[in-house]
Chain A
Amino acid sequence: MTMLLSLIIGLGLFFAIGWSSRLAMHAVAPAQHKPIYRDMPLTAAFGIAVILIYVLVATLAPLIAPFGEGEVVGDQYLPWAAPYHLGTDKLGRDMLTRLIYGARNTVGIAFATTALAFVVGSILGIWAALQGGWVDQVLSRFVDALMAIPALIFSLLLLTIFGTSVLTLILVIAAVDATRVYRLARSVSQGIVVMDYIEAARLRGEGTWRLIRREILPNAMAPLVAEFGLRFCFVFLAISALSFLGLGIKPPTADWGSMVRENATLITFGDITPLLPAGAIALLTVAVNFVVDWQLHRASGLKE
């Protein structure tokens, strides 16, 4: 019964947010872009709204959060009641505050990591496909070697050797992710570089960089963008898994991945506390991918 009720409320919220965000965007968009937003599916509108809310929460965290990021405000595991609207965690810190600061830290790190991985991975991947020959061989074998080592063990080795500051965390996860992106970019581009128009562009004398940027990248964009949406959320999971190993983000910094890990045992007893950070991750993942899907759809040129 409660499940049904929450489903109805959830759907209602979804439509309300989707609708109002579409209306709002349509209203504020410059005239020439208005049609884009008029035809935008509700899912995409909902996704954009959610992302905007997250970004807002992340940037304004210190203003919105009722307490300090690491502040111990009371006993542990207090129930959901004012002034602790989502209760307190195992150290007696306000859960809502932790979630809000978590948005800032987690989303920031995830975005930086994914962006870095994509820039490095896709450029190298396309370049390898374009050049072929020994460049392709050397890069691909090297990437194969790195990918053949399980990501978690590889990250563990690197983080144990180089330490666990936020910067090394970003670099290590990005390095691991970049190998995956490389492989995808290379295989997609391999299908493209044998196309006639690439041949033509080559004959026109276009340079490698221009070929990558102007000819191949636009045509390889769709699968890459789809991958971006997923890789983005894999970063949260990687951080969560690393905190399983005691290697995640250092306390008292709040991040969702570690929060899921910290509270995970409670789900064994049917306590929904760990669902809060996990839900925050899931909502963002769904939102990002809704927008990605919409962009994919637009890029595909399909009209229906």
Chain B
Amino acid sequence: MTDIWRMIARRLLLGLLTLFVISLVIFGATELLPGDLARELLGQSATEETLAALREQLGLNDPAPVRYWNWLTGVLQGDFGVSMATQKPISELVGARLGNTLFLALYAAALSVPLSLLLGVLAALWRNSIFDRASNAMALTSISFPEFFVAYILVLFLAQTGIFPSMVRITAATTFGDRIYMAFLPALTLTLVVTAHMMRMTRAAIINLLASPYIEMARLKGMSPLRVVLRHAVPNALAPIINVVALNLAYLITGVVVVEVVFVYPGLGQLMVDAVTNRDIAVVQAIALIFAAAYVLLNLIADVLSTITNPRLMHRR
């Protein structure tokens, strides 16, 4: 067990390194983008004079490395700074949005993970049956529609008929029950988007093991197919399943900006897009780091769980 703790500690340290690399990559990329915040804020009406005045005011005239250094030292002291466009503290801007994003991600995960594991196991158990083929074809169809299109279809059938609202207008005063009700359509959209991937990986990972000699042995001993799958195949198929679940969870946190836009959901994705469009670098950096941290942590958890399920991974050279 100490090995695992050592691995976690090491990975966390490496995670910090990853975050540092990301902050560099993002900063560099936004620097490479044409235009800057002053240009975007003034838009077409910019003149050289007003641009210069605004750049001065925003501190954009410092060379890029200086601005990066200022930002980095701030972050190391726990200060993410203020949004250059609105002068609001970033913690204030990001806080409520982060809560909304996590709420939607967990909501969608609570629907999709059990559903896809169940479907995946059943499909592996009854492989090549009508159930297998039909659930497969349906999952594939839902996954091959773009997210916004799935959302429009759900809105057509479930919102235009008045059952659910077509927009999610969440404020601080919204109760938990109302949130669940209002966010149902976006959560369902995301469920349809991620289920097929997880379900198919589950099925494939299990089926991949079914030809192994030890499964053959279990079968020869007269075990029921359900028992074979659950007791012998699933535990050994967990590594790839856990990985694909982690990938999709991370996606639910970081990649749902389209769903946010369609349902007017105030999440981090839209905020990041706005910030990128307007080159509000401090906000971009803060959100990129949040996304990255979510990613690193989920991957770490996935690797730890994989290791636990396959102890052989522990004893490598």
Chain A interface (Cβ < 8 Å from any Cβ of B): 41, 43, 132-133, 137, 141-142, 144-153, 156-158, 160-161, 180, 183-184, 187-188, 190-191, 194, 222-223, 226-227, 229-230, 233, 236-237, 240-241, 244, 257, 260-261, 264-265, 267-268, 270, 274, 278, 281-282, 284-286, 289-290, 293, 296-297, 300-302, 304
Contact = CB atoms under 8 A, between A and B. Distances in A.
**Looking at chain B, what size class is its interface with the partner chain?**
35 or more
A150 B128 contact: no
Contact of A274 (B140, B149, B197, B258): B149
Contact of B128 (A41, A144, A227): A41
17 contacts: A148-B291, A151-B255, A152-B257, A157-B29, A222-B207, A233-B143, A241-B147, A264-B148, A265-B152, A268-B155, A278-B145, A281-B144, A284-B144, A286-B144, A296-B204, A296-B208, A302-B210
B144 A285 contact: yes
B127 A237 contact: no
Nearest to A150: B254
**Leading 6 A-B pairs by shortest Cβ distance:** A148-B292, A148-B295, A285-B144, A226-B204, A301-B211, A282-B144
Contacts of A261: 146, 148
Residue in A150, A265, A278, A304 whose Cβ sees the most chain B Cβ within 10 Å? A150
A104 B160 CA distance: 36
B313 A191 contact: yes
Interface in B252-272: 254-255, 257-258, 269, 272
A192 to B, nearest CB: 10
Contact of A191 (B141, B204, B310): B310
A137 B247 CA distance: 19
Contacts of A260: 145-146, 149
B201 interface: yes
A278 B143 CA distance: 11
Given A237-B144, A264-B152, A270-B156, A161 B240 contact: no
A282 B140 CA distance: 7
B15 to A, nearest CB: 8
A149 B26 contact: yes
B22 A153 contact: no
Interface in B145-174: 145-149, 152-153, 155-156, 160
Contact of A144 (B18, B145, B156): B18
Give the one of B155, B200, B292 with max A CB within 10 A: B200
Contacts of A304: 128
A244 B151 CA distance: 14
A236 B144 contact: yes
A217 to B, nearest CB: 14
Interface of B: 14, 17-18, 21-22, 25-26, 29-30, 32-34, 127-128, 133, 136-137, 140-141, 143-149, 152-153, 155-156, 160, 196-197, 200-201, 204-205, 207-208, 210-211, 239-240, 243-244, 247, 250, 254-255, 257-258, 269, 272-273, 276, 288, 291-292, 294-296, 299, 306, 310, 312-313, 315-317
A142 B20 CA distance: 11
A157 B258 contact: no
B276 A156 contact: yes
Nearest to A194: B312
Contacts of B240: 184, 187-188, 223
A240 to B, nearest CB: 4
B142 to A, nearest CB: 9
A145 B127 CA distance: 37
B143 A241 contact: no
A145 B145 contact: no
A267 B152 contact: yes
A274 B143 CA distance: 16
Contact of A141 (B14, B211, B306): B14
A188 B209 CA distance: 12
Contacts of B26: 149
Nearest to A269: B156
B42 to A, nearest CB: 20
Contact of B208 (A233, A281, A300): A300
Contact of B257 (A150, A191, A264, A284): A150
Most buried by B among A187, A278, A304: A187
B208 A222 contact: yes
Nearest to A161: B32
Contacts of A282: 140-141, 144-145
Contacts of B156: 267-268, 270
B239 A187 contact: yes
Given A241-B146, A244-B148, 5 more contacts: A190-B313, A222-B208, A278-B145, A284-B144, A297-B128
Contacts of A240: 146, 149
Contacts of A229: 200
A278 B144 CA distance: 7
Contacts of B200: 226, 229-230, 289
B211 A264 contact: no
Nearest to B24: A145
A289 B201 CA distance: 12
A278 B149 contact: yes
A188 B237 CA distance: 10
B148 A149 contact: no
B144 A233 contact: yes
Nearest to A287: B140
A137 B316 CA distance: 14
B205 A267 contact: no
A241 B18 contact: no
Given A188-B240, A302-B207, A267 B14 contact: no
- Residue in B140, B244, B269, B317 with the greatest tally of chain A CB atoms within 10 Å: B140
